[in-house]
Homo-oligomer: A and B are copies of this chain.
Amino acid sequence: MNAKKAADSLIIMTELVLPNDTNIFGNLMGGRLMYWMDIAAALAGSKHCSAPVVTASVDNISFTNPIGLGNVVHIEAKLTRTFNTSMEIHLNVWGEDIIQQYRYKSNEAYYTFVSVDPNGRPRKVPPLEPETEEEQNFYESALRRRQLRLILGGKMKIEEASELKALFLKE
């Protein structure tokens, strides 16, 4: 299995906020945004694996600014690191008021997907090759996030999370 470049997995998605996507303040509902993010991340994952993928987990997401009705949602999804049968995907989301020409951050998130074969069983994921410095940073920090994810999901004990511990001691 040959490594593939991180940049090759990039998915750019643009969505317009319509009335049914909004709450009573006329702002995009968080759940609707997570729906679009899930699709963008799934496409990035599928592109890397040339195989169907399913959502395994979503890391903590904070929503910074509301995105108003008629504004535009920009989503960029790109792989940060692959593990055995899973991969972490970084999402960067911002809103844009096209009329006022004003762009603002909405959130950043990490989704984890598992690659599956036609019977729905996990299958090996090709390795990822980070190139830029930013991709390299995402690649390295992915281990810490994965340990936190496993601890929060009850699949790893805190004392085994060496990467995470180092972080805690350092800061």
Contacts and interface: CB of A to CB of B under 8 A. Distances in A.
A98 B39 CA distance: 13
Contacts of A158: 167-168, 171
Q: Interface range on chain A: under 10, 10 to 19, 20 to 34, or 35 or more?
A: 35 or more
Nearest to A100: B50
Interface in A40-79: 40, 42-43, 46-47, 50-52, 54-63, 66, 69-70, 72
B63 A55 contact: yes
A18 B19 CA distance: 8
Given A56-B63, A58-B60, A120-B66, A31 B37 contact: yes
Interface in A1-21: 11-16, 18-20
A165 to B, nearest CB: 8
A47 B98 contact: yes
A159 interface: yes
Contact of A23 (B52, B59, B171): B52
A52 B99 contact: yes
B57 A61 contact: yes
